[in-house]
Homo-oligomer: A and B are copies of this chain.
Amino acid sequence: MRVEWALRLKGVEYEYIEEDIYNKTPLLLELNPIHKKVPVFIHGEKVILESFIILEYIDETWKQFPILPRDPYDRAMARFWAKVAEEKVMMNAWRSICTQFEEEKEGYLKHAMESLEKIEEVLVQGKSKFFGGEKIGYLDIALGWMSYTVPVWEEVGSMKIVDPILFPSTAVWMENFRNHPVIKDKLPPRDETVVYCQRISKEIGARMAAARKG
């Protein structure tokens, strides 16, 4: 979705090819033998992998509507918070939903919350509609998954992740992002996402339990 959002913001035409993670195409396995996962971005004869790396490539190739800030320090901060959101918030919230062990559930959620607090601070200090200011930028695109996935995860995991009382700015930002004209009609349908998350989280939970047994 990040790749699509960036291309749409820049007005670059593209073709979207759906991949079923349960039945990967030979094309995917050929183009991404290391990770065997989407997104894979094909531009002419060039193949680029990993969503954050694709975003930088898109921003360097199509200069209109820049998504990374201009200033080197602001760029560094956008990249840093994107990584924190990915490795700390997303990873821990997801593990919290998947795990079959009650005591792990709380621990993972606590870790996710600690990093979410820092991201809330970034928004509070920025005082604008998006992380990128008045328009969507790199960090908004990187964090965009939260705007539609968190409500689904909260339902699937029977937990509150972004409590609007604890994270008021994040809650408003999620709303702003979801309602942006370029994003609005490109979000996956909620019901399908719930079913998908239920299925995947159960499978991963079982795998996590098996790994713990060694």
Residues of A within 8 A of B (CB): 33-34, 43, 46, 48-50, 53-54, 56-57, 60-61, 72-73, 75-76, 79-80, 83-84, 88, 115, 118, 212, 214
Chain B residues, Cβ within 8 Å of A61: 72
Q: How many copies does the complex hold?
A: 2
Chain B residues, Cβ within 8 Å of A46: 73
A-B CB contact pairs (8 Å), 24 listed: A33-B118, A34-B88, A34-B118, A46-B73, A48-B73, A48-B76, A48-B80, A49-B80, A50-B79, A50-B80, A53-B76, A53-B79, A53-B80, A53-B83, A56-B75, A56-B79, A57-B72, A57-B73, A57-B75, A57-B76, A60-B72, A61-B72, A212-B212, A212-B214
Taking a contact as CB atoms under 8 Å apart, the answer to whether A56 and B76 are in contact is yes
State the CA gap A43–B88 with chains docked (Å): 26
Chain B residues, Cβ within 8 Å of A57: 72-73, 75-76
Chain B residues, Cβ within 8 Å of A75: 56-57, 60
Chain B residues, Cβ within 8 Å of A72: 56-57, 60-61
Chain B residues, Cβ within 8 Å of A212: 212, 214
State the CA gap A75–B59 with chains docked (Å): 12
Closest to A78 in B: B53
Chain B residues, Cβ within 8 Å of A48: 73, 76, 80
Chain B residues, Cβ within 8 Å of A34: 84, 88, 115, 118
Closest 7 CB pairs of A and B: A60-B72, A57-B76, A48-B76, A61-B72, A53-B79, A212-B214, A46-B73
Closest to A73 in B: B46
Chain B residues, Cβ within 8 Å of A80: 48-50, 53
Closest to A59 in B: B72
Chain B residues, Cβ within 8 Å of A84: 34
State the CA gap A33–B117 with chains docked (Å): 12
